[in-house]
Structure formats: structure tokens, C-alpha cells
Structure 1
Amino acid sequence: MIQGETGTGKTLLARYIHQHSERAEGPFLELNCTAMPEGLLEAELFGYSPGAFTGAAPRGKQGLLDVAHGGTLLLDEIGDLPLALQAKLLKVVEENRFLPVGGTEFRHANIRLICATHRDLQQQVHMGQFREDLYYRLSVVPLTLPPLRERREEIIPLLDHYLTHFNQRHEKTRCWHPESLELLAGHDWPGNIRELINLTERLVVSVNEQEITPHWLPHVPASLETPNPSATCDGSLREQVMELERQLIETALATHGTTRAAAAALGIDQSTLVKKTRRWCLSRSA
């Protein structure tokens, strides 16, 4: 069982498990439990016999439990599986057999079953929306994928990886500007890895310069993107640099609200930012 917010890479993890298992030579199939009505979902998963219902194929149809024989079947968004189908799936898990729609003979299931969901299944069990017995049968090896905002050390490596990937796909030579990486590392990524992948591809194909500067980033406030030179103080280079640094930190604090978020957006340690704000007697809540 893989749990995590939408876009955290649950399908990628399931595919990785399959590719590094003894079933790697078998098929890897996935079914989204929210993608179709209950009747179609049942037929897609379990298959059906000839004449099982009006409009059924004369020869019947194999379900994914059959097609995935010897391989892995991923049931995505298992928390949305209707209760009636949960009972049928429980038999598959417990007895490794299933009955096609309209069938009279059980068929053997030889698959690795991986389930994924963004829902809190324990809460759904308490609310009567998910079978308790099925929950415990599926949760033999529970895995939780934290959101990208809780594993920020992975953001820049992921950005570099997908930039290379999409450069090759679209025959481009884009590269990240260091400030762009710092700003993206401080973004909260509510869409997680899926958002990161989509943003990277969009920038690769839409930016008309080789270097992806902060100007092209949709997450960068204009005040952080282009500091106002006229607002800096007169004086030596060191004094002007310090004044510009103070403006940037004040703006980041006003934009993000906390020293932690502001430091992440600026690409510096929180302790460094706090020391500087104390030096300038800036009163902000951490």
C-alpha cells in the first residue's frame, strides 16, 4: 500500500518496485479506480463472460487480473473503490482467485497487487467507507510518500534530472540560472512532483533563451525578481550591497510570512536570515 498526496510519485514508485522484483519480465498494468463507473470498473478489473450483459462482446473479455498474470497490477486511488467491489477484491487477496462478471467458474490470479491512494484509509474505515478487513489485508507493507515540500533536498536534483530529460525530448539546450534554482527550491509545490515535471517541460519549450532566469518563473513575485536599484542607498559598494540585501530579506519576509519560508525562497539558512534581521532590528515573527 502506497499512500501520499496527489503527484508525489506513487505510480513511479510502484513501477520501480515492479522493475526491481522477480516479476520484472511480466506486465505492469494500472487501473485508476475513479476513472469509470462501478459497472465498467468491475468488468475492466475482473473481466466478463460471453453474454454477461447487454452489449457484452460475444467472446467475453479478459480482465486486468488475467492480463497482468505473472506481473504487477497497480490499483490507483483504491480509497474510491466501491464497497461492492471491495468485497470481490478481498477474495482475490485472500484466495488468489476471482469470478468474472457473469461467470460460473473461478479463475486463478497470479499477480503482485500494489494499491495507492491519497486518502486517509483509516479514517475511511472508521466512517464505514472502506472495509476494515480489506484495509488490513492490503496494508502488509505500508509505504508513505511525503510531499515534496517536506523533502526539499530532492527539489534541485529533480529539476536537473527533468531538465536533462526534456532537453533531450525537445532537442533543446536549456540550463537553470542559479537564482532560479534557489527560488524553485523555496516553492511549496502543492502539486508535488507532477507540478515540478510539468513546469520544467513548459519552461523548456517556452523559454526563448538558453538560460532559464527568474524572469520566466511563474512562482516569483515581481518584487523579488527585479530589485529596484534606485532604492539602494548612496555610499560604498559594500554599503549598497548590504542595503540591497536588506531590501530583499524584508520583501521575502513580507511575502512569505515566516523566516523559514523566506529563507527557503532566498536560498539561505534560516539561522543566517534571523541573524541579519536581528542586526537590522527587524521585528518579524518566526
Structure 2
Amino acid sequence: MGNEQKLSPILSTAPINTLFPNNEKMGKVLDVISKVTDLDVTVLLVGESGVGKNRIARMIHEMSKRSIHPFIEVNCGAIPESLIESELFGYEEGAFTGAKKGGKQGYFEAAGEGTLILDEIGELPMNLQVKLLSVLQNKSLMRIGGNKSVQLSCRIICATNQNLEELVNAKLFREDLYYRINIVKIIIPPLRERREEIISLIFDITKEMNKKYDMNKRFTPAMLAWLGQQEWKGNIRELRNFIEKAVITSGEDEINLEIDGEDFEQFSEKRMKETTLQKYMESIEKEFIMRMYQKYPSSIKLAEKLNISQSTANRKIQKYIEER
């Protein structure tokens, strides 16, 4: 095995962002999630890179009885092939050159009664696919160099942006393993197909970045409108990167359409032909009111939080919530 390289699981601490069920596709995703949270069944998350598969996995974990236990994320494509077996399954003392005294737990054991997400499952080497299949079937494993079985109690979630059926046909992914992890398959739509979520994501990510960099940045309504209209081919990851860059590079607390020296005049002219500023502002306000109403579901609480009168809060609720 050679000298061991220290690799740690990714312990996700990101907050669970609100997913708006008024998007039909995401509504179906949330419906499946609600049904499987406390079932001891392997879940397969499928979707383009950056759509939020890890976010969905954490949501499943946090909604389940396992939420008080560890949530461990492992990217199967990021760990060198020479190390991935020992990282996943652990090893006993003396199992190979450079092995720690006393041996080491693998990620499966470290997850305890919590959740282990195997991201980029399609990148798992064929020889380890056999071992993973055994783990899933027997709920136990054997460390490298060990001679006794270790019982497991963690929940396993697999995720991929690849077409596993094509990998199976190309003999790059075991058919028996595919059927074993494909018991509950959740297809997460790209961000361009769930635009209702973009504004909420912008607020959440901006809040996260402000906390991370000890800043107090915010986007202007025009900038929010522009962001909400983009395709975001890289999905949430691309949106997150854009917002982080904007928060860091903007010289003002209010981030506007001139960020990064880019010229948005052509875009603005095109959009102004299609809609009015009032409609733009209403679309932003609608998303904001819907988001806040989910957290403060009464006119009294909403009015207090937004520093508006209760009658105004009632009008907003009737206009944006009850009309739906």
C-alpha cells in the first residue's frame, strides 16, 4: 500500500436550504424524501454536477432519526485508487507498510449509526464494487488484514452525475451492484428547471458567505432579477461560486449590475422589452415573502420580522401565498 496519506472525510456543516415545493419536479423529490427518511434502504441520487445531491443527502439525514449521529461524505473520485480501500474499509495494524499502530477505522465504521454518502459512485474501482456489494448485502465488512467481521449500522446514500446504465453496458460498473443501490432512485432536476428556488438560494448563500468572510453584502433588486434569469449550467455550484466572488470583490455593501466591470446593458434592454421594473420588483418580493412566510407562518410573526404592519403583512400573504 505504500506510505499512508492522511485523508479525512468531508463533514458537511452547511445548513439545509429551503426547497420550494411549488416546483412540480422538486415537489416529487421532496415527496420521495419524506417517505424514505426513516427506512433502512439505500438511496441513489442522480443529477447533473452541482445540482445539490449532497444537500439532498444531508436533508435525508437531518430529517431522519439518524440526525444525532455523524454525516460523512466521501468522494469516490477524489481519493487515490491505492488508498480508497483502506479509507473506506479500514485496516488492522501491520496490514501494509506504513499502516498505523493499532489499525484504523474506515469511513463505514466512522459513520456509526449515522449516514455515509458515497459521492461519484461511478468512479469506484471494479474490485471495490464487489466489496461494496458485500457490505450492502451483509451489513458488515472486514478490515484490510483483519480476520473478523465488523457489523455496520450506518445508512448508505450513493450519488452520481453519470449514467450508470451506460457504465453497466460498457462493463465499467457491476450490474448486480447497480440493482442493489437502485432501490430508491431520486432524480434531482437541474437548477434551470427549478427557477423558483434561485432567489431563496441567493439569500441563503449570501448569508453563508457574509458569515464566512465577516461581511454584510447584499444584492440590489436589479441584480437579483438578473441572477434569477440566468441558465446556471453549472447549477448550484456555479451560482455559489458567482456569489462568493461577488461578495469578495465588490467594494460596496450593495452589489449591483456593474459587478466585476461586466456590462449588463444589453441584458437589461432585452428584459425591459419583456417586462417592467414593477414586475421585476414584484417577482423578487414574491420569492422573499414566500420564503419568510415558511419560517414565520402568521401575519403577526411575519410583520414583526419584516418590521411592517400586520395589515401590510396580511395583504402580502393574500397576494403571494393565498392566491396560489
Q: What TM bracket, shorter-length normalisation?
A: 0.7 to 0.9
Q: Distance in 2 between matches of 1:17 and 1:219?
A: 39
Q: CA deviation at 1:194?
A: 1.4
**1:112 alignment partner in structure 2:** 155
- 1: distance between equivalents of 2:85 and 2:113? 21
Instruction: Quote the residue 2:182 is aligned against.
Output: 139
How far off is 1:135 after superposition? 0.8
Displacement after TM superposition at 1:113 (Å) = 0.3
Q: Residues of 1 paired with 2:66 and 2:164: CA distance?
A: 27
Shift in Å, 1:173: 3.1
Q: RMSD in angstroms over aligned alpha carbons? A: 2.5
Give the drift of 1:205. Answer: 2.4
1:188 aligns with 231
Mark the CA change 1:263 to 1:58 in structure 2 (over 3 Å): closer, same or farther: farther
Aligned residue in 1 for 2:244: 201
Cα deviation digits, residues 238-278 of structure 1 (max 9, x gap): xxxxxxxxxx23xx7xxxxxxxxx969x9989xxxxxxxxx
Whether the 8 Å CA contact 1:46–1:98 is kept in 2: the answer is yes
2:209 to 166, 174, 185: 166
2:240 alignment partner, SS class: helix
**Cα distance, 1:88 vs structure 2:** 0.3
Q: Residue in 2 aligned with 1:179?
A: 222
1:15-26 → structure 2 map (5 Å cutoff)? 15-26=58-69
Equivalent-residue separation in structure 2 for 1:10 and 1:32 (angstroms): 12
- CA spacing shift, 1:127–1:22, aligned 2, 3 Å: same
- Between the aligned partners of 2:143 and 2:114, the Cα distance in structure 1 is 19
So what's the TM-score if we normalise by structure 1?
0.76
Distance 2:253 2:60 in 1: 36
- Structure 2 CA distance, aligned partners of 1:176 and 1:144? 31
1:25, distance to aligned residue in structure 2 (A) = 1.3
1:171 CA displacement: 3.6
> Helix, strand or coil: the match of 1:214?
coil
> What amino acid maps onto 1:105 in structure 2?
K
Q: Give the % identical residues.
A: 43
2:85 alignment counterpart: 42
CA distance in 2, matches of 1:142, 1:75: 14
Give the length in aligned residue pairs.
236
C-alpha contact (below 8 Å) 1:77/1:118 kept by paired residues = yes
- Relative to structure 1, the CA distance from residue 128 to residue 268 in structure 2 (aligned partners, 3 Å threshold; closer, same or farther) is farther
Contact 2:142/2:150 (<8 A) preserved: yes
1:231 matched residue in structure 2: none
**What's the counterpart of residue 12 of structure 1?**
55
Confirm or deny that 1:93 pairs with 2:145. Answer: no
TM-score, normalised on structure 2?
0.67
Gaps of 5+ in 1: 226-247, 253-261, 270-286
> Quick one: distance in 1 between partners of 2:235 and 2:210?
21
Deviations 1:65-87 (A, max 9, x none): 11111111111100100110000
27 and 223 in structure 1: CA distance in 2 versus 1, 3 angstrom threshold: same
C-alpha separation in 2, matches of 1:268 and 1:185: 13
Compared CA separation, residues 114 and 218, structure 1 to 2 (3 A): farther
Inter-partner Cα distance in structure 2 for 1:263 and 1:72: 47
Kept in 1: contact 2:258–2:264 (CA 8 A):
no
| Equivalent-residue separation in structure 2 for 1:181 and 1:267 (angstroms) | 14
- Structure 2, gaps ≥5 residues long: 1-43, 281-324
**Larger Rg over CA atoms:** 1
Distance 1:28 1:219, change over 3 A: farther
**Distance of aligned partners of 1:183 and 1:48 in 2 relative to their CA distance in 1, 3 Å threshold:** same
Q: State the partner residue of 2:198.
A: 155
Q: Taking structure 1 as reference, are residues 154 and 49 closer, same or farther at Cα in structure 2, changes over 3 Å only? A: same
The answer to whether the 8 Å contact 1:2/1:115 transfers is yes
- In the TM superposition, residue 98 of structure 1 has moved relative to its aligned partner by 1.0
Q: What one-letter code is carried by the residue in structure 1 that aligns with 2:168?
A: V
Cα 1:35–1:267 change in 2 (3 A) is: farther
Q: Is the 8 A contact 1:183 1:220 kept in 2?
A: no
